[in-house]
Chains A and B, each alone.
Chain A
Amino acid sequence: MSAPAPVPHEAAEIVIEVSDLCVSYGRHEVLHDVHLQVRRGEIMVVMGGSGSGKSTLLRALLGLQSPSRGCIRLLGQDITRLGEHAMHELRTRMGVAFQGGALFNSMTVGDNILLPLREHTRLDENTMRIMMRMKLALVGLSGCEDLMPAQLSGGMIKRAALARAIVMDPPLLFFDEPSAGLDPVASAQLDRLILKLRRALNMTIVVVTHELESAFAIADRITVLDRGRVLFTGTPDALRRSEDRRIQDLLQRRADIAPVDPEVYLDKLTGAPPDA
């Protein structure tokens, strides 16, 4: 695999900026004072174990989870203050590939991919269909437009979901667990595709994953979350060199044996709102 492009120049515009972000479920805070900056054209990988808050952070970035405090600026707009219409407009500039694909089972693959174009543009049908076939070719699914999602393998569903996420050429792409459930070959193919997209379209890409190999293959920088806090943000090389025990545990896939917060543990036993 080709090496990721160098970290974009420090002067590149910041397109994602998260400041002092706190998210709570009921009285249980699952993200605490999270700070994150991503520059245009950068691939930022967010990692962490189960319950680290990475899925909650993704939901917050997508505007699907309201923060209890803090600010999230995407492409210069504070989404915590945006009205419904403005958020709808902003979402046309964000592509999201969900972990399970989130394809509509009642529609063909082609119609699933055409959905954002039909909803948000007034392009001619012929133009839209060519765009859809171009994206299918890009993700290696040429000729699959008339298949139903149920006829696709897990890897194909992920690629179809990616085709739908990029059909509008969004400047921001969010990818939830791209490698989960894929064999190593399919996973490496998807990694190469993510790098290709960034290089050709200068997309800013946020990938949430727990797959170390994939993270090191694609990331310009990695943010590690631990119990809702940012434990580390930096290059893959800096992550490898980190002497923090929790980072080393993550890299060596050791189980977390640190004592849990007694109050959080009590919440879990008594059925308080779920963890992130």
Chain B
Amino acid sequence: MHIEVAVEGPYTVIRLAGEVDMHYSPRVRDEILKYLNGRCNVLVDLSGVDYMDSSGIATLVEGLQLARSMDLRFGLVGVHGPVRQVLELARLDHVFAIHDSVEDRLRSDRHN
């Protein structure tokens, strides 16, 4: 699994690639919590993720939970294929703010 971080507009974008399973999700968690605790708005880009197990999904839920408690923005972009299916199975597809891409999210923010 690979993690890249970039700043785009008001967001810290955490780009994940590969498989997020119980072995790697603690790394993802550390990264998400680090930026949220640094008071950054966070977007997690999942377009490069082939597989995410429920520890990865739970990590995203933790991120959302922390962001809400700190009045920060937290969203997902590039959700596709098996990751979307797992989110749907867990009925979380309507809990997260999900956009196709970072640009799509920025455009949506401008309109709201």
Contacts and interface: CB of A to CB of B under 8 A. Distances in A.
Given A124-B29, A127-B62, A169 B54 contact: yes
A130 B29 contact: no
A194 to B, nearest CB: 13
Interface residues of A, number: 22
Contacts of B12: none
Contact of B54 (A124, A134, A199, A202): A134
Interface residues of B, number: 20
Interface string B77-111: 00000100110111100000000000000000000
B54 A122 contact: no
24 contacts: A121-B22, A121-B55, A123-B25, A127-B26, A127-B29, A127-B55, A127-B58, A130-B58, A134-B61, A134-B90, A135-B54, A137-B90, A168-B22, A169-B22, A169-B53, A169-B54, A169-B55, A196-B89, A197-B89, A199-B85, A200-B82, A200-B85, A200-B88, A202-B82
Given A131-B55, A169-B53, A169-B54, A126 B62 contact: yes
Contacts of A202: 82
A201 interface: yes
A200 B58 contact: no
B48 to A, nearest CB: 19
A168 B58 CA distance: 12
Interface of A: 121-124, 126-128, 130-131, 134-135, 137-138, 167-169, 196-197, 199-202
Contact of B61 (A130, A169, A196): A130
Nearest to A122: B26
A202 to B, nearest CB: 7
Given A122-B26, A131-B57, 15 more contacts: A121-B22, A123-B25, A123-B26, A124-B26, A124-B29, A127-B29, A127-B55, A134-B58, A135-B54, A167-B54, A168-B22, A169-B55, A197-B89, A201-B86, A202-B82
Contacts of A169: 21-22, 53-55
